[in-house]
Amino acid sequence: MFMHLAQTAKPKIETANKPLLNLSRRGFVGAGTGLALAVTLGACSQNKPETLAQAAAPIPDNSNIDIGPLVLISIAADGRTQITNPRSEMGQQVITTVAQMIADELDVPWDDLFIKQAVGDKKYGDQNTDGSTSVRNHFDRFRMAGASMRQMLTQAAANEWGVDISECTSELGVITHSSGKTLTYGDVSEAAGKLDVPAEDTVTLKTRSQWRYIGKDKPSYTISDVIRGKGTFGIDVRVPDMLYAVIARPPALFGKVKSLDDTAALAVPGVTQVVKMKEPEGEAPGFQQLGGVAVIATDTWAAIQGREALKIEWDAGPHKNYNSKTYAQELMATARQPGENKFKRGDVTKALSSAETMISADYYAAHLSQSPMEPPAATAQWTGDNVEIWACTQNPQAAQSTVAQICGVPDENVTVHVTLLGGGFGRKSKPDFVVEAALLAREVGKPVKVTWTREDDIKHGYFHSVSAQHMKGGLDKDGNVTAVLHRTVFPSINSTFGPSDQGSDFELSLGATDNPWNVPNMAVEVGKANSHIRIGWLRSVANVYHVFANQSFAAELAHAAGKDPKAFLMDIIGPDRIIDFSKDGVTYPNYGASLDEHPVDTKRLKAVLDKAATMAKWGRDVPKGHGLGIAVHRSFLAYVATAIEVAVDADGNISFPGIWSAVDAGTVVSPDNTKSQIEGGTLFGISNALYGEITATNGAVDQSNFPDWRVMRMAEAPHVFETHIMESEAPPAGVGEPGTPPAAPALANAIFAATGQRLRAMPLLGQNDRLDMSKVGEG
């Protein structure tokens, strides 16, 4: 997710956000692609057979060119255009979106496009597919690549005709001279490849009205394969002569194998070998393998059976005393004590003591698991000191450098092919599973695929952090908010990469120190917390718990003030303005973006709030047992408000008659996909809020599979989900994550409206997956 966090574990990656200006005389080179396996993604058109890519002559491949547009685009003599997608596809339709951005400026027919998936390589710039960055950080770069290439092709045609480029135009792969003569991109592609890449200031990007693909709905590039069962995910990779592995990992972090009896495992038909894994080093797990014992077999089922037959005695390791129940009490006790101030406006203590009404509330949110439907899986094959890897990774460059470091080979000896990802949600940013495959393949001397079972995924993840929060608010006699104190305590993601005993400023900026409320006295404090399991990022990260707390608390304040929660939210956000958090002592990271380009704009925040309320017909009479809740938040530069209607029956069963979201993500490249992301992000947030709880006993995670790690299913899904995209010409914002933060508080607020029961701990539902109706009315 966060560049700065990832950098604690690996060297800074050079990002090539702009086409470089170096000259190249190499042009288009070499035919044939380096793809040994089915990672080729076929033709763009939905109607073309999958075999077209194989049947036609190979498109010239620029994989040894490292400059400007040539690294992303190549064009065959017959006009077929290959775009190399450097970002990982995990369901956000990034392949389609990247193609839209490049092909629009290149101006080629959509059906002539072929997409190749890039391997992990610094020459592709930032490939860390995280933080909802693929459009917002690369919109200019991808468009510039397409436009630069178009200019080079046009120049090549002008050269061939001996005319000035100003006399030539280009459209949909055809260059036309003012005299009427034409050449196709394919006709001049070889000549164009020998030209200099134009300086950026000589390249003109299209105006908005000229956009052909940006802002239009294009069908998903992968759907044609997916519905036929043909896409290649990490777990699907097959290499000749390969073996299959599963690993028994230490139940608690940094646990070790004390004794091993593998006799029975080796007797399982198909099991070929049992390998003790290299143990992780140092104090912090980082992206290292976890250790344990691997079972290698001729098929995955045999490996699973073999693992069950292992007899392992574990040394529990340094975190054997981690028990979630005790830990939660400690976190909450810390949250009730003053912490380190991270946001200071006015005098909160004084304002609270002089308030007409003071309310306080404690919130808790459990650890969560990303649990993508495809568990982690990677395949590795060594040839001498070189290793080729196929993996469902969100961050192929981190996979490359981590494997290189742990295996003791140079980065360039490690080739990471990126497959389709069966969901990521942050889990697949961490290449520990890739390292396991590389270590095992070297040890075994054959290609090895490591598959994580669901139990492995849930017990040995990089968990979303557990948190306790304490909020206090003061109201004057008219019900205006005079003071808000927000204390938050959670083990930091930084603990995964080094010493850390407190939530980081970056995590605080996700929903706590970015609080846009127009309240004269406000403070945010953070308390100490050590971690005992691997903490990692999960879709929208610390926003999940921070926004659950402060958007729930806003509704609690509204209730105390006797006001409508939506009108109260509008009031507390206050007048239209651009917020400068530096006045409150906060150096606001703004998701890595410039505050000039992406200011925090309360007008946009209120506009989505108003829109979601209108969509939900806020203020209408609802049937008995129903309630409407609403929440709004800006994250990953996008503004999202969500209104949820819940229906709670007499037994405490919850259903969702409707959910309405409004999103302002600035310029949107792919509208229907943006709606899909908001729908998915919202349901992900609701699923986690209702059911999500990872706990540990003696350092080991208690949950194991979908019955005890429950996720939302069809019957629990909303009957209606409507998303509205606000018209905007602002620069693009993220869309993958911003749907998630408002979901949990909107849900809790809706449950309060329906039942009078204020739920302040996630998961909101108890062990029986129903509301405890005996508490209804306690408020």
Partner 1 sequence: MVQLTVNGKAQKIDIDPETPVLWVVREQLGLVGTKFGCGASLCGACTVHIDGEPVRSCVTPLSEAEGKDVTTIEGIAAPDGTLHAVQEAWIKHQVPQCGYCQSGQIMSAVALLKENANPSDEDIDSAMSGNVCRCGMYTRIKAAIKTAAKGA
Q: Pick from 151, 288, 324, 371 the residue near partner 1 by CB under 8 A.
A: 371
671 binds partner 1 (CB under 8 A): no
* Least distance from partner 1 to the Cβ atom of residue 48, Å: 12
Pick the stretch among 124-132, 162-170, 187-195, 676-684 that binds partner 1 (CB under 8 A): 676-684
- Consecutive H or E run containing 247: strand 243-248
Which 697-726 residues touch partner 1, going by CB under 8 A? 705-707, 711-715, 717-721
* Least distance from partner 1 to the Cβ atom of residue 366, Å: 18
Residues 469/363, Cβ–Cβ less than 8 Å: yes
Which 519-578 residues touch partner 1, going by CB under 8 A? none
Q: Pick from 267, 373, 567, 578 the residue near partner 1 by CB under 8 A.
A: 373
423 binds partner 1 (CB under 8 A): yes
| Amino acid at the residue 682 | T
422 binds partner 1 (CB under 8 A): yes
> In the 3-class helix/strand/coil scheme, how is 572-630 assigned residue by residue?
HHCCCCECCHHHHCCCCCHHHCCCCCCCCEHHHHHHHHHHHHHHCCCCCCCCCCEEEEE
Q: Pick from 82, 134, 184, 300 the residue near partner 1 by CB under 8 A.
A: 300
Q: Pick from 82, 129, 413, 451 the residue near partner 1 by CB under 8 A.
A: 451
- Consecutive H or E run containing 725: strand 721-725
742 binds partner 1 (CB under 8 A): no
| Amino acid at the residue 371 | S
Three-state secondary-structure class, residue 469: strand
First to last CA, the chain: 37
684 binds partner 1 (CB under 8 A): yes
Strand partners, 114: 43, 82
| String of contacts with partner 1 for each residue 80-119, x by CB under 8 A | ---------xxxxx--------------------------
- Residue 462 makes CB contacts below 8 A (sequence gap 6+) with 370, 426, 427, 430, 496, 534, 535, 536, 537
The whole-angstrom separation of Cα 710 and Cα 715 is: 13
664 binds partner 1 (CB under 8 A): no
Residue 484: Cβ-neighbour burial (10 angstroms; 0-12, 13-18, 19+): buried
Q: Pick from 181, 230, 311, 350 the residue near partner 1 by CB under 8 A.
A: 230
* Least distance from partner 1 to the Cβ atom of residue 90, Å: 6
649 binds partner 1 (CB under 8 A): no
* Least distance from partner 1 to the Cβ atom of residue 641, Å: 18
208 binds partner 1 (CB under 8 A): no
140 binds partner 1 (CB under 8 A): no
The whole-angstrom separation of Cα 332 and Cα 527 is: 10
236 binds partner 1 (CB under 8 A): yes
Alpha helices in 324-374 (DSSP H): 324-335, 348-353
- Residue 318 makes CB contacts below 8 A (sequence gap 6+) with 253, 254
Residue with smaller CB distance to partner 1, 55 or 715: 715
* Least distance from partner 1 to the Cβ atom of residue 688, Å: 11
Which 721-740 residues touch partner 1, going by CB under 8 A? 721
User: What is the sign, positive or negative, of the torsion defined by CA atoms of 157, 158, 159, 160?
Assistant: positive
Residue with smaller CB distance to partner 1, 476 or 672: 672
The whole-angstrom separation of Cα 240 and Cα 467 is: 47
Read off the tokens for 727: 């018209």
CA nearest neighbour of 291 among 263, 256, 331: 256
- Residue 656 makes CB contacts below 8 A (sequence gap 6+) with 644, 645, 646, 647, 686, 716, 717, 718, 719
- Consecutive H or E run containing 724: strand 721-725
645 binds partner 1 (CB under 8 A): no
374 binds partner 1 (CB under 8 A): yes
Number of residues lying near partner 1 (CB under 8 A)? 71
219 binds partner 1 (CB under 8 A): yes
Residues 549/488, Cβ–Cβ less than 8 Å: yes
Residue with smaller CB distance to partner 1, 503 or 680: 680
Residue with smaller CB distance to partner 1, 89 or 388: 89
* Least distance from partner 1 to the Cβ atom of residue 375, Å: 8
192 binds partner 1 (CB under 8 A): no
Pick the stretch among 111-119, 248-256, 258-266, 419-427 that binds partner 1 (CB under 8 A): 419-427
267 binds partner 1 (CB under 8 A): no
Q: Pick from 57, 172, 223, 567 the residue near partner 1 by CB under 8 A.
A: 223
The whole-angstrom separation of Cα 246 and Cα 449 is: 9
Residue with smaller CB distance to partner 1, 243 or 348: 243
The whole-angstrom separation of Cα 254 and Cα 499 is: 15
Residue with smaller CB distance to partner 1, 302 or 547: 302
The whole-angstrom separation of Cα 276 and Cα 639 is: 49
Three-state secondary-structure class, residue 475: strand
Residue with smaller CB distance to partner 1, 222 or 513: 222
Which 268-287 residues touch partner 1, going by CB under 8 A? 269-270
Read off the tokens for 718: 């909303």
Read off the tokens for 281: 């080093």
CA angle, 492 then 496 then 497, to 5°: 110
Residue with smaller CB distance to partner 1, 55 or 408: 55
672 binds partner 1 (CB under 8 A): yes
The whole-angstrom separation of Cα 665 and Cα 673 is: 12
Residue with smaller CB distance to partner 1, 334 or 369: 369
661 binds partner 1 (CB under 8 A): no
Pick the stretch among 66-74, 405-413, 418-426, 545-553 that binds partner 1 (CB under 8 A): 418-426
